[in-house]
Every structure is written in C-alpha cells, then in structure tokens.
Amino acid sequence: MKTDKQRVLITGAAGFIGSHLCDRFLAEGFEVIGMDNLLTGSMDNISHLFPRDDFHFYHHDVTKFVHVPGKLDYILHFASPASPIDYLKMPIQTLKVGSLGTHNLLGLANAKKARILVASTSEVYGDPLVHPQAEEYWGNVNPVGPRGVYDEAKRFLEAMTMAYHNFHGVETRIVRIFNTYGPRMRLFDGRALPNFLRQAIKDEPITIYGDGQQTRSFCYVSDTVDGIFRLLMSDYHLPVNVGNPVEITIKQLAEEVVSLTDTRSELVFEDLPTDDPKKRRPDISKAQELLSWSPQVTRAEGLRKTYDYFKEAVGKLS
C-alpha cells in the first residue's frame, strides 16, 4: 500500500520500550513497521496495534539479513536482551544483536537513505568512577566479566554507528538509556523494580542484592520515549544520555514499593552480582540543552501507574 506518511522501522518492537515507541510514532502520524524475533518481547505489548492499517509487524531476527520493501525514512534499533537475567542466559545472542544486527540495520539505513537511531545504554559506563555520568566519560567496563556481553555489545554498537556516520555519511543518532520503568515491563524481568513489585503484590519477601546502598535513577517510560523522539528529530549525532537524574538507593526504592503496595513483605538481602554498578545517575545537561528535554513524570506518579499494571498482570497468573 502506497502512503504519503513517513515510514519508520522499529526493531525490538514487541519489547518494553520498543512497544511504547510504536505507540508514540503512530500517534505522531507515522506508518510504523515493527520487527521482533520475540526472544524477549511479547505480542501482548503490540496486539492492540494489529487492527491498524498504519502498523505492520515482521517476525524476524535482525542478526540475519534485513529487508523492508518500499521507502524508509527512519530506523530505530531497539532489538536486544536488556535485563541481566536475559543476557546472562543468552550471551551469544546479545553479542550478535549488538554487532551483526547493528551492522545489518546500518546497512539498511545506508541503502534506504534513512536516519537511524541506535539504543545504547548507561551500561557503557560500567561501574563508573565518575559521578554523575556525562557523555564524555569513557566508562569502567570489565570486558571479560559476566556483564561484558551486554556492555561490550553496546559499546561496539556505538563504534559501528560512528563508523557508518563518518565513512558512509549515514545520518545517525545514539541514545544512552538509563534505567527506565513503566507498564509492559515483564513480571520476571529480573531487574529491581519488577522484582520488588511482583514480590510485594504476592506478599513474598522482597529480595535486595548487596546492602541496598547502590544507587539507580529511574525514568518513566513516557519520558524516555519523548527524549528518544526528540533526539531522532535533532541534528546531533554524538551520544546523548536520556534518564532521570533523581538518584535513589535500591533499599529506598524497595521501601517505597512496600509503602505503595501496603504489603506484609519483609526485605531480605542476598549477595551482590559480579560487576554490579555501585552508582548510576545521568548528567542530562546535553539533552536539556540540545533537545529541550527533561523528565516530567515524578517517581510517585510513575510507580503508581506501574503498580496498577503489575497488579493486573500478577492477577492473570493466579
């Protein structure tokens, strides 16, 4: 079907952030082509889009040759396992989607003369020696540690993207995403907030790794998506942090979940995983200056919306 709408390909479309990106681009009047191999994504996240004639879905693994007929104006590469529980279980697939997948999509962008935005991560900073983390910081990553499969896949993704920009003149954008949360996170995602909410709703002990004094900065998904959209539409090709600079300890987060859910759950402490970052907070000066972007949703509001989603999702398991 021919269309005058701008067309965007979103990989990882059935994932948490990917599905929200599909919603945003459809709301902005784009024709959206979603692509996912469903390794960690779920059709439930995009099932509401299937009746639309401006949404199309390709069940495909981007580490294999990617073909999309017709014009493409934009590509957003969000295909990748993103939770430690996933990339520790699927290390090779994680490395392949960051390398081969990125190569295939950059090649597609070059062929289609499309602008491409790739999803990098705060994990490129590793266990940081600089706080907060600005884009100019090169990071402190253990390439042979268990988290290296994700960290180095994303660092390679950035290097490959810059090579295509510099050598082929491809219009590229790089977003470094910090902890994001909201509806459509998986119940058994393995990250702190999904674990806490699921355990609290079921009145199970809430598991904290380490002493809980490690910090994170949580950005609600609609804010993250807005930052990504603004970056794609900007003319800036170097990495930009997108995240919420409000820092909180993991123990404080657990306590907020206990209060929100009114659970009887107690906090239990287990060993900290290898190379788990001790601090994480974005310096978002660049996003504020270049994109006129900063988070709008408070953690109290975001946690409430996420809790409502998890309560319903846990109920379906019963």
74, 87, 125, 150: the catalytic one is 150
Domain containing residue 233: CATH number: 3.40.50.720
Residue 238 lies in a domain: yes
Same domain, 236 and 106: yes
Instruction: Give domain status of residue 187, yes or no.
Output: no
236, 253: one domain: no
CA atoms of 98 and 78, how far apart (whole Å): 10
Domain region containing 148: 7-180+221-244+284-296
Other C-beta atoms closer than 10 Å to the C-beta of 282 total 26
pTM of the full structure: 0.97
The verdict on whether 150 is a catalytic residue reads: yes
The CA angle 125-10-7, to the nearest 5 degrees, is 135
Provide the domain count of the chain: 2
Q: Which two tokens stand for residue 22?
A: 């599909």
User: From first to last of its 318 residues, what are the pLDDT tens digits of the chain?
Assistant: 456 899 999 999 999 999 999 999 999 999 999 999 999 999 999 999 999 999 999 999 999 999 999 999 999 999 999 999 999 999 999 999 999 999 999 999 999 999 999 999 999 999 999 999 999 999 999 999 999 999 999 999 999 999 999 999 999 999 999 999 999 999 999 999 999 999 999 999 999 999 999 999 999 999 999 999 999 999 999 999 999 999 999 999 999 999 999 999 999 999 988 878 899 999 999 999 999 999 999 999 999 999 999 999 998 886
Looking at the fold, whether 133 and 107 belong to one and the same domain comes out as yes
Asked whether residue 111 falls in the same domain as residue 45, the answer is yes
